[in-house]
Amino acid sequence: MEKLMIAGGRPLRGTVQISGAKNSAIALLPAAILAETEVILDNLPQLSDVAVYTHILEELGAKVEWSDNQIKIDPSDIKSIPMPNGPVKKLRASYYMMGALLGRFGEAVIGLPGGCNFEPRPIDQHIKGFEALGATVTNEHGAIHLHAKRLRGARIYLDVSSVGATINIMLAAARAEGATVIENAAKEPEIIDVATLLNAMGASIKGAGTETIRIEGVKEMHGCRHSIIPDRIQAGTYMIAAAATRGDVLIDNVIPKHLEALTAKLIEMGVQVEELDESIRVIGADSYGHVDVKALVYPGFPTDLQSPMTSLLTQCKGVSVLSDFVYSNRFKHVPELARMGAKIRVEGRSAVIEGGPLNAAKVSASDLRAGAALVIAGLTVPEGVTEVTGVEYIDRGYDHLVTNLRSLGADVWRQTE
């Protein structure tokens, strides 16, 4: 078992390069299934979730060449092989195989997705979308069976503006007959990234990034080359870590607009933030005022930064309230932070955080962002070594985390037991 060891108390200083976005990459990889010829993705992050997805594509018959930050996917020999078990169970985003295989072959069998299980994460809106397009969807022993003689465009109103459902319906509808309209669509930047790739592959998608997306189905789609957008959550995590350690970090290869909600909150609490063209500089201060944070759908404060932000709020004077309106119970990091001396109580959808120093402890990451929160907390502790287990979760979403933190001056290392 691997652990992350953190001897904190050192301000982070220097420059960190942000990789391509995980939550884009794991939708763009299955999107390649819809093409008849080779798709090349640049700025691919090196993450365990990407490796699992690559493996799934190979099992379906794709030829995949992955070197450093580029992947070439030749989908010409792909078949819709049933995948009730195996690697699809390892990650949440395997649900995109449903939309992609349904869109290309009219059928798919995919085991219900795994991934970070911080709370039940239903896929009813995905299924509602597939059914509206004319597919029959059944759940047989934990695997979703999808079948459609032909997919026909439809008007679909999402009850919740779900990122996954929006992308999955775009995938299935891209090659359907006629027009599909998704209302109350999610507006996250990753959705625009997927629509950009699909359009470069020959699809006709308008309105991605707004709440109404129109898809005119096309008969065929072809390969293309596409560069993945920077990972705004990874960038936000380093911004928070820079503030928490009272450091001075230039976060490079980002789209500052994607981070506006976080930037505004950091400034409100007393952090100095400078937005440049493709980078953001975060300069910490000796003391911070308390703030209230509400995690919402984009362009609100991202739920994926809620856990890391909890750690930063322990460093503020007074009481801060952090509420999550996307997930009702994403607070598994709270008892672990309490082991480190944090004074936090959870009330319904909110964590009430009383600022104060933390101490080193042995803690466990139960999901990706909870892991990031514990690492940030450890970085603030000047004495002792914080040990974080559950590193496999952190590896799902943070490309070269230890190398990056060390290059910023942190005393962090991996230890195998």
> Which C-beta is closer to ligand EPU: that of 74 or that of 188?
188
CB closer to ligand EPU out of 229 and 326? 326
Indicate the residue among 326 and 402 with the shorter CB distance to ligand EPU.
326
Q: 378 near 6, Cβ under 8 Å? A: yes
Spatial CB neighbours of 333, under 8 Å, sequence gap ≥ 6: 307, 310, 311, 365, 366, 369, 370, 373, 374
Closer of 284 and 397 to ligand EPU (Cβ)? 397
Tally of residues, the chain: 417
Min dist. Cβ of residue 257 to ligand EPU (A): 17
Q: Which amino acid is at 306?
A: Q
**Closest separation between CB of residue 303 and ligand EPU, Å?**
5
Which residue of the set 41, 116, 167, 249 is catalytic?
116
Closest to 135 in 3D by CA, of 88, 171, 187, 85: 171
Nearest CB to ligand EPU, comparing residues 154 and 360: 154
**Residue number, 274 or 392, with CB nearest to ligand EPU:** 392
**Could you list the residues that contact ligand EPU (CB under 6 A)?**
23, 26, 92-93, 116, 121-126, 160, 162-165, 186, 303-304, 326-327, 368-369, 397
State the nearest-atom distance from the C-beta of 362 to ligand EPU, in Å: 23
CA distance 182 to 127: 14
Residue number of the CB closest to ligand EPU reads: 164
Residue 286 is labelled as binding a ligand: no
Instruction: Check the annotation: does 277 bind a ligand.
Output: no
Q: What is the C-alpha separation between 277 and 322, in angstroms, rounded?
A: 30
Q: How far is the CB of 397 from ligand EPU (least distance, A)?
A: 6
CA 73 to chain centre: 22
CA dihedral 254, 257, 260, 261 (to 10 degrees): -100
CA 306 to chain centre: 13
Q: Could you tell me which residues are beta bridge partners of residue 140? A: 143
In the annotation, is 224 catalytic? no
Pair 373, 124: CB distance under 8 Å: no
Residue type, 264: A
Print burial letters for 181-200: b (CB count within 10 Å at least 16), e (below 16): bbebbbbbbbbbbbbbbbbb
Q: Over the range 73-112, which residues count as b (16 or more CB within 10 Å of their CB) and which as e?
A: bbbeebebeebbeebbbbbbbbbbbbbbbbbbbbbbbbbe
What minimum distance in Å lies between the beta carbon of 298 and ligand EPU?
7
Catalytic residues: 116
Residue numbering of the annotated binding site: 22-23, 92, 121-125, 304, 326
Residue numbering of the annotated binding site for UDP-N-acetyl-alpha-D-glucosamine: 92, 121-125, 304, 326
Residue numbering of the annotated binding site for phosphoenolpyruvate: 22-23
